[in-house]
Structure 1
């Protein structure tokens, strides 16, 4: 049986949205294909005391962008639709998930524009549909109330465990998993 550890909902003093600064700091550091740090406390002291936040965020954004540019085939994705489907697994509530999604959408647009020069420059930029997923106890109301006004994507909520089936077969083009949720993925079955 899967154990559930949901974040505190809302925007109160002890909510995740008010207390996710550490996740902002570490999100880029641990994004490198599930790197595990042998001394996480020492690493965090270096991050917090070493002024690595800006470099870390830049590095994370560049790493995601580089992987998308090198490995994603936009032509295949858009062969049947002009919409790219993205999911954020374990989104919780707060700015971290929106920052990650914005970086991914920007990188996908760059990839499309780069690859489109080779394919057909008369096509319009694709639309983006993001599925924010978290446990059913997540505060999706707060999540949607805090969506960026100037976002360039459509947003939907998908409550449920990613240990279960959440989406139809072959319906997601790109999946992102936050630092905390990724730890839970290690317990997932081989079917994922």
Structure 2
């Protein structure tokens, strides 16, 4: 998949992704990448976050791969549940990293308006990368979400929430999962041709 043929939409989670976060590094590294900006990173509103994603997709007709982290993953599922078919067709795939289980006991109050999590089979290829020691979603829960969304699931050992606090700054090895997703997309496109 040629890098010029696709654009990348970066969807950070709660509180955004600071400059040292792997999503920010990827945004600086990947051609044609842009961040979906939210009006309020600290007090997220499900309706506002979904609308921001919808607006970002509507603003550019080129095909896109979504690169979501944490609450960004849940936003993708909520958006896909009610998205217009025209915009759904623009999404070639989604890399869903460390989804936040907003239904878990003790979930921070600002995230609870994203519950219940949309249980929708995503109409595009997706790869969910979770961790066996992520406080935001257990490995079992990440696998369950992946199955509900129709995602391929990979569970990393000891990776935490796959963010700055867990030592994932540039997360160069994460590009392997992006390439894996892109290979699945290309294979699917060849089968349809």
TM-score, length of structure 2 as denominator length: 0.34
Considering fraction of residues, name the structure with more helix: 1
Structure number, greater radius of gyration = 1
TM-score, length of structure 1 as denominator length: 0.34
Relative contact order, CA 8 A, sep 6+: which one is greater? 1
